[in-house]
Structure 1
C-alpha cells in the first residue's frame, strides 16, 4: 500500500499521517469480518483427583457443576462473550444465544 507523501494527504483506508509521520488510520472493521476465530462452548467444570481420573474407564460418568437447563458459556480467548442453551441443528449440537456479554 502506498502511503501519502505528506501529512495533509489522506492515507488509504481513512485517517491521515500525524506530524511524526506515523499513520493514524482507523481500523477498517470490514477487514476484520473475514478473520476466523475459535469459540469454546463450555458445558461446565469438574474437579477430580489424579487418582479418580486414572480410574476413569468406558461408561464412567464425570459430573459437571451445571444443571441440564442452565446456560452454557461461549468463550473467545478465555473470556465469556455470551451464554446460550444447547439445541440440535441438522443432527449436530448448536447453541441458541441467550445473552451477549457487555
Structure 2
C-alpha cells in the first residue's frame, strides 16, 4: 500500500533533516563562509583592479554614528590567526602561501 504525502509535508520533512545536520555542527557553516571569503579575497587582491582598491582603500570624511560595520579584512585577519592586515596582503601575492594559510585555518576550525 502506498502512502501519498503532500508537497508541503515533504518540504517540511526535508527542512527538518537539513536543520538536524546544521544543528549537529553549527560552526561548519560559518567556517565554510569564511573559507570562501578568503578564497575570493585572494583572487581579488592578486588583480590590480577596482575591487582591490575598494577592499584596501580608505574613505575620506566622518564615519557614521552607531556600531561600525565589520570590514572583510579585519574579519579574515582574526580568522586566519595572529597577524596584521598588511601581513595578509603580502601573503596574498604568493598563491601557495595563501592556500596553506586558508587550509590551516580551515583545518583548525577557528
* TM-score bin (small chain): under 0.3
Larger radius of gyration between Structure 1 and Structure 2:
1
Pick the structure with more helix per residue.
2
Q: Which has the higher contact order (CA 8 A, sep 6+)?
A: 2
Q: Which has the higher strand share?
A: 1
Q: TM-score, normalised by structure 2?
A: 0.25
